Amino acid sequence: MSPPPPPSRWPAPYKAAISFTMDNLGEAQDVLNGKWPHPIGTHPAVTNQLPRMLSLLEKHNIKATYFAESWSLSAYPDAIKSLQDAGHEVAWHGYQHEVWKNLSPEAEQENFDKSWEEARKAGIKYEGFRPPGGSINDGTWGLLKEHGVRYVSPLGELGIGKEGVVVLPFEWRGVDAFWYMDKFRGIREDHGEREELENPEEDLKGWLTSKMEEIRQTGGYLSVLFHPFLQTDEKKFAMLEEVLGRIAAEKDVWVAPCKEVAEWVRGHPGSFEGGR
């Protein structure tokens, strides 16, 4: 007789945990880089794609976390309100999507200061941070603690990191941009994927299906990341709905916003060692 499986480290009856997340709200990065020739507040990712994504999330009863740039809070107050009214979490993604690992300590401090002022005006209290580019600096941990940020979502390992900040990592293959965007060809090659993908939607869906089975077996965590600006055609929306349906059907997997997962991890430190 085989031994019984080890007890789950997640709330009963769940064997694993998933957060559905979104990044990049509107044209913040394009404005920073001087590549937005249109009126502020008119990005189709927010005006067209996001409402459709929110409808799909509601259909499948999934609460998400949106990592939004603080610059965008005043540009899209109605979108922020719609996210909050639907029960989704609004978390932090830098001021204007600056590549975080490239910031000096002085630039990091300025980014925090500007972002927290925008959040104060918008009535938002940040629980979490996803660094644009996926990496944070050594000095970031202290600033996160100082500003009351309780979790961070970089590339890395699940657990409790420096300064007691919970780490809820993502990985590149769980990001739609990894499969969809030409600029990720080098990262795909580094991960053993073909530079050119014939059917990226099916490749993404196949990887997610395999990964969800893996975390069920290992008691792991998965952060799924979709960008509204990449949901540009019916094929991508059809694939997104398949993914959401698959996530919602996993009755033994806890599907929750990042802040809820982070709260659980923080309350059970013995089950979640490490984190970086």
Per-residue pLDDT of the chain (276 residues; tens, 9 = 90+): 544 556 789 999 999 999 999 999 999 999 999 999 999 999 999 999 999 999 999 999 999 999 999 999 999 999 999 999 999 999 999 999 999 999 999 999 999 999 999 999 999 999 999 999 999 999 999 999 999 999 999 999 999 999 999 999 999 999 999 999 999 999 999 999 987 888 999 999 999 999 999 999 999 999 999 999 999 999 999 999 999 999 999 999 999 999 999 999 999 999 998 787
Question: Residue 181: inside a domain, yes or no?
Answer: yes
Q: What are the tokens at 235? A: 């094929």
Amino acid identity, residue 247?
I
In CATH, what number is assigned to the domain containing residue 29?
A: 3.20.20.370
CB neighbours of residue 4 within 10 Å: 6
Contact between residue 43 and residue 8 where contact means Cβ atoms under 8 Å apart:
no
Question: Residue 6: inside a domain, yes or no?
Answer: no
Give a three-class secondary structure readout of 258-271.
HHHHHHHHHHCHHH
Residue-level pLDDT at 7: 76
Question: Residue 148: inside a domain, yes or no?
Answer: yes
In the chain, how many domains are there? Answer: 1
Residue-level pLDDT at 196: 83
Question: Residue 256: inside a domain, yes or no?
Answer: yes
Residue-level pLDDT at 195: 77
Query: Could you list the residue range(s) of the whole structural domain that residue 152 is in?
Result: 16-269
Residue-level pLDDT at 273: 80
Question: Residue 163: inside a domain, yes or no?
Answer: yes
3-state DSSP assignment of residue 226: strand
Q: How many Å apart are CA 159 and CA 170, to the nearest integer?
A: 12
Residue-level pLDDT at 62: 98
Q: How many Å apart are CA 67 and CA 91, to the nearest integer?
A: 5
Q: How many Å apart are CA 99 and CA 185, to the nearest integer?
A: 18
Question: Residue 53: inside a domain, yes or no?
Answer: yes
Question: Residue 68: inside a domain, yes or no?
Answer: yes
Q: How many Å apart are CA 89 and CA 73, to the nearest integer?
A: 13
Q: Quick one: DSSP state of residue 48?
A: I
Question: Residue 9: inside a domain, yes or no?
Answer: no
Indicate if the alpha-carbon torsion angle 17, 18, 23, 25 is positive or negative: negative
CB neighbours of residue 168 within 10 Å: 26
3-state DSSP assignment of residue 233: coil
Residue-level pLDDT at 274: 78
